[in-house]
Amino acid sequence: MTTIRSVPYGMEMTPATTHADIASLYTQFDAIESDARALVSGLSEEQGRWRQTPEAWSVAECLDHLATANRVYIEAMTPNAESALKRGQMRRGPALPGIVGRWFVGSMEPPVKPRLKGKAPRIIRPRAEPALADAFGSFLKSNEETRAFLDRFKDIDLARIRFPNPFVRGVRFSLATGVNVIAAHDRRHLWQAWNVRRAAETAGG
């Protein structure tokens, strides 16, 4: 068992005790938030909206995409998680993805492999030219919502309770896979956003 803090960035609260696999997820989301804060630090609004090509995403659009995708995933997972909590389907093992889930999570991780690139589903494409501050705020809120999901459901059987993938009809993942997909997908597009930031800074001299 590991003692961790699950709180919004920069805030303090009484530590909670949880399992190592859940502690690892909290740590990942804390690191993701820290990386996002570093990404936007010192970035101007103009740089945040800069695109390398007309079809490419800006830093703000990367963050906006993540905010929307995270919420869609959490909304898809929550009904089955709530049902499991009500019927007392509690944890029987670590919250880890199975074989297919591990492959899918791995396919999300950066650096992005050319053969695994694809267009985002329409429902999670970013808004056109969102303001950097607005996109960043939305991303932070989605990160808080993901940690709130863990706070509420960390003791149910995340590895065995399944939910319908919101983007691929007929595919069902475990809740453990879903949470790990969110973390990997966050890292994927933060990596993308860092590349955009560096290109914007180079283009601006």
- 99 pLDDT band, cuts 50/70/90, is very high
- Tokens coding 79: 């009904």
Tens digits of per-residue pLDDT, 141-156? 999 999 999 999 999 9
CB contact at 8 A, 136 and 38: no
Identify the pLDDT of residue 113: 73
Tens digits of per-residue pLDDT, 10-64? 543 434 557 999 999 999 999 999 999 999 999 999 999 999 999 999 999 999 9
- Tokens coding 42: 């010192």
For the full predicted model, state whether its pTM sits above 0.85. Answer: yes
In the DSSP assignment, the letter for residue 86 is H
Query: Domain spans of the chain?
Result: 59-203
Length of the chain: 205
Q: Where are the alpha helices (DSSP H) in the chain?
A: 20-40, 45-49, 59-87, 99-108, 132-153, 175-203
Q: Which residues does 200 contact at the CB level (< 8 Å), separation at least 6?
A: 47, 50, 52, 59
Tens digits of per-residue pLDDT, 74-93? 999 999 999 999 999 999 99
Task: Please provide the DSSP assignment of 178-204 as one string.
Answer: HHHHHHHHHHHHHHHHHHHHHHHHHHT
